[in-house]
Structure 1
Amino acid sequence: MRIVLTAVLVLLASQSAFAAKPARLGLCAACHGETGIAQIPGAPHLAGQKADYLREALRQYRDGRRKAPIMQAAIGPVSESDLDELARWYSEQAPVKAQP
């Protein structure tokens, strides 16, 4: 029984590694990369950032409280559930390792 319980817990814990990509990821990935590693100069890496921080930043771009025309255009009228999915996705990605 203990082995079965352990196997179930390991499976549940690893589910986030197999989570589906957010539907709205495409436009974000053009600059920030699908895994949160920026693809263009000047775009910040999002991988490994805290989900709460990312969610609030996206809300602020969507609502116009953060003024960055490219981000305001990219985020558009996104729903709260889309914001949650994007924040969760990028927060679960492996961050960039610091250069020695």
Structure 2
Amino acid sequence: MRLVLFAALLAAALPAFAAGPARPARLGLCAACHGEIGIAQMPGAPNLAGQRLDYLRNALAQYRDGRRDAAVMRAAVGPVSDAELDALARWYSAQAPAPQAQP
């Protein structure tokens, strides 16, 4: 009986793990330039999909704190909390990177 209950609970939880991180509430402003899944939507904006989690988290914090000087990024992430920065970094790091262009 316990094994059946455990298997049922595990089966119910697996889709949440397989789906990856939840879509961050603050994604909209980032998506305007970087795309919802991290594939840039405007020229000059970098792709964020598949970037390392620690790199994204640190870069976002540096933009927010002014250690990286980019006015548009400072304005975009200035009011974002540490938890929201973490959620954005987790989201973009979990996305599949853009395919490489063939030479």
Q: TM-score, normalised on structure 2?
A: 0.83
* CA apart distance, 1:99: 1.5
Cα shift readout 1:30-70 (whole Å, capped 9, x = no counterpart): 00000000000000000000111000000000000000011
Segments ≥4 residues shifted beyond 4 Å: none
Partner of 1:14: 18
Aligned: 1:58 with 2:56: no
- Cα RMSD between the aligned structures? 2.2
- The structural deviation recorded for 1:21 is 1.0
Paired with 1:83 and 1:90, the residues of 2 have a C-alpha distance of 11
The alignment-based identity, stated in percent, is 62
Tell me the number of residue pairs that the alignment of Structure 1 and Structure 2 aligns.
Answer: 97
User: What stretches of structure 1 of length at least 5 have no aligned partner?
Assistant: none
Distance in 1 (alpha carbons) for counterparts of 2:17 and 2:38: 21
Matches within 5 A, 1:18-97: 19-97=21-99
CA-CA distance at 1:13 after TM superposition: 3.9
Point out where structure 2 has 5 or more consecutive residues left out of the alignment: none
> Could you state the TM-score of these two structures normalised by the residue count of structure 1?
0.86
